[in-house]
Chains A and B, each alone.
Chain A
């Protein structure tokens, strides 16, 4: 079974530029998560989708971050404009359902904002 795919693996941008990350969850997984993990910290949930609807985006900085999951499969996370403090690993995860189910993580995208 293929795992959660993310791209790119690494990205370096200058502050105020924009960037987008892509995630393809495990086939059949209805729930998709985007997490931000700053070095030395635990993953922080940015947004959670159930199919193509948002079920939690309470910690998403909506003035600069946006995410979509058109057709309920792939998802993109965008940052515009980026700030230095956005440097982190962005992890995508998926699960079969929105509650009480194991989350499978992708390898992540390491973003460096300079």
Chain B
């Protein structure tokens, strides 16, 4: 199935610092979704990007979809301890049906 690669695997920041995670695909994606999973919790949908070059913001979170629709990023400005968790990107498989997840970036924020 469609593979999306995420980097970095882990990120440890001080509260107030910025954070960025990247998601890359070798093939063009029809869309990409981002999810957040808190420790011990289940993935929760954050956003979906569909258009080439699309940028969406949710408070301190900025999501981008690359011009070639092969990569995406999630940027958090001035992290807070509530941002702790693992951030996953997910994209449809080759069939267009399966929703395949990346391995995630685990964010740890220390006060």
Question: Which A residues lie at the B interface, using CB under 8 A?
Answer: 33, 35, 41-45, 48, 50, 55-56, 58-59, 91, 93, 98-100, 102-108
Contact = CB atoms under 8 A, between A and B. Distances in A.
Contacts of B101: 35, 42-45
B42 A91 contact: yes
Given A44-B101, A55-B95, 14 more contacts: A41-B104, A42-B88, A42-B101, A43-B101, A45-B101, A50-B97, A91-B42, A93-B43, A98-B97, A99-B92, A100-B50, A103-B33, A103-B43, A107-B42
Contacts of A50: 97
B45 A100 contact: no
Given A100-B48, A100-B50, A43 B43 contact: yes
Which among B6, B50, B93, B99 has the greatest number of chain A C-beta atoms within 10 A? B99
Given A41-B103, A43-B88, A106 B30 contact: no
Interface string B22-55: 0000000011010000000011110010100000
B20 interface: no
B96 A99 contact: yes
